[in-house]
Amino acid sequence: MTSSKFDVAIVGGGPGGYVGAIRAAQLGLSVAVIEKEQPGGVCLNWGCIPTKALLKNAELVLTMRHAADYGILCDNLRFDMSKAVERSRKAADTLASGVAFLLKKNKVELISGHGRLSSRSTVEVTDGGGSKRVIEASAIIIATGSRSKAIPVVPVDGTRIITSSEAMLLREPPGSMTIIGGGAIGVEFAYYYAAYGTKVTIVEMLPHILPLEDAEISETLERAFKKLGMVIKTGARLEKAEAGTAGTTVTVTANGQTEAIYGDITLLAIGRDPNTQDMGLETVGVKTERGFITVDREKGYQTSVPGIYAIGDVIGAPLLAHVASAEGIHVAERLAGHHPAPIDYGNIPGCVYCQPQVASVGMTEEEARKHGEIKVFKMPYRASGKAVALGETEGMVKLIADARYGEILGAHIIGAEATEMIAEICTARTLETTATELHKTVHAHPTLSELIMEASAGIDGAAIHI
């Protein structure tokens, strides 16, 4: 059994692990990343990147279905979902190769295999052939991410009842699909399959799909999805799901009535579980709660064991790639002797990439009202010259501000390019910019970002185009 020594050993090569590794190497530390699959983690290989490639195809499919609105007349229009899948896999593979290159460029050693803690300072790595190697490090960072949540009443078989991984690889659209879970993952796949003509039913236990978003935004998305022909069942308790030779049956109870929903395929999309199994956590004394590793953020994400840290999905919500990357950089800088500012978890953007897109940061209107007097202004997309020119008039920018000082408490956008536009609000909140200062900042015309300027002006009673 061979042995190697590093300053930092990172178990997991996803957006937390590889970003943290590169930052640590930039700061002069010797670093090893242990990854049993392709670098980039679930996000790059089976999540963020390939799903966005698929959603781009869905957007184009729906655009072509309405091409006549733009004076483009197509005869015998056909769509090949298999090509969309191939393009998404190519995007993932290209970026995974890019991550491997960046690690090598920064002199980070990428070690292939399953990493298991064998002591407070060592990780035993077992490769695909069964060979073992011991990695010794002054600091160990656990960044193993998460996987699709499983529940007993929904027996996933990978064919009829599937997870998001299988949903990304279907070569043909099923005639019908039942999606259990109306969160970001479920909503994005609902849009993707509906674009290709699948009859989609979304089952969500809470009162709205995207239950973590502002209620008004969720309601707007529900209306848009219903226009696409989707059936949305909210406030529905899942009883069970069963797979047969010809399809699936999902049994739910809503308003005291039990109903069976039939479909060709059922997608289980109810959240994520941490990848903390078979890692030796119990052996070395790393504490967990409901499977997630507990950390002390004030001590740089240190676990209950000094010298062992954890970042990303394995430490719990928010389970977002950009949060994992920020945490990875923070830990790397702490280990290099720097004093990075703490991450502001109140200013983390959330994005959903269906159409219309949804993006938000800060408090919802309901949350903000509990904290004092507020002002709320909603700027509809239909009031934007750019949105009208694009033919993208569905949606709004909703801004929430403190009534006395104009502090921006929250922003919620539904509409075209919402996921790009939200960054302006995040920057403004970081700089403690007021709504007045934001609307006094001249925005280019015509742009969708003018909607943010006008919404800010609306807080001060000075909106022009409404």
Query: What angle, 0 to 180 degrees and rounded to 10, lies between the N-to-C axes of helices 450-459 and 418-430?
Result: 50
CA-to-CA distance for 431 and 159, rounded, in angstroms? 49
Helix ranges, 336-460 (H): 365-369, 385-390, 418-430, 435-439, 450-459
What are 203's strand-pairing partners?
180, 233
Amino acid at 243: A
| Beta-carbon contacts of residue 309 (< 8 Å; ≥ 6 apart) | 139, 140, 141, 142, 295, 300, 301, 302, 303, 331
Q: Which long-range contacts (CB under 8 A, 24 or more apart) does 22-28 make?
A: 22/102, 22/103, 22/106, 22/108, 23/328, 23/329, 23/332, 23/333, 24/332, 24/335, 24/336, 25/106, 25/107, 25/108, 26/106, 27/332, 27/333, 27/336, 27/338, 28/336
Amino acid at 86: E
Degrees, nearest 5: CA angle 246-251-255: 145
Q: CA nearest 124: which of 9, 38, 30?
A: 9
Among the options 114, 371, 445, 465, which is catalytic? Answer: 445
Active site residue 330: no
Q: CA nearest 410: which of 443, 379, 466, 367?
A: 367
What are 250's strand-pairing partners?
241, 261
Q: Per the structure block, which two tokens stand in for 335?
A: 């280990």
Q: Per the structure block, which two tokens stand in for 267?
A: 């997608």
What are 350's strand-pairing partners?
360
Residue 383, CB-side half-sphere exposure with 13 Å CA sphere: 17
- Length, in residues, of the chain: 466
DSSP 3-state helix, strand, coil percentages of the chain (rounded to 5)? 35, 30, 35
| Beta-carbon contacts of residue 319 (< 8 Å; ≥ 6 apart) | 146, 272, 312, 313
Catalytic residue set: 445
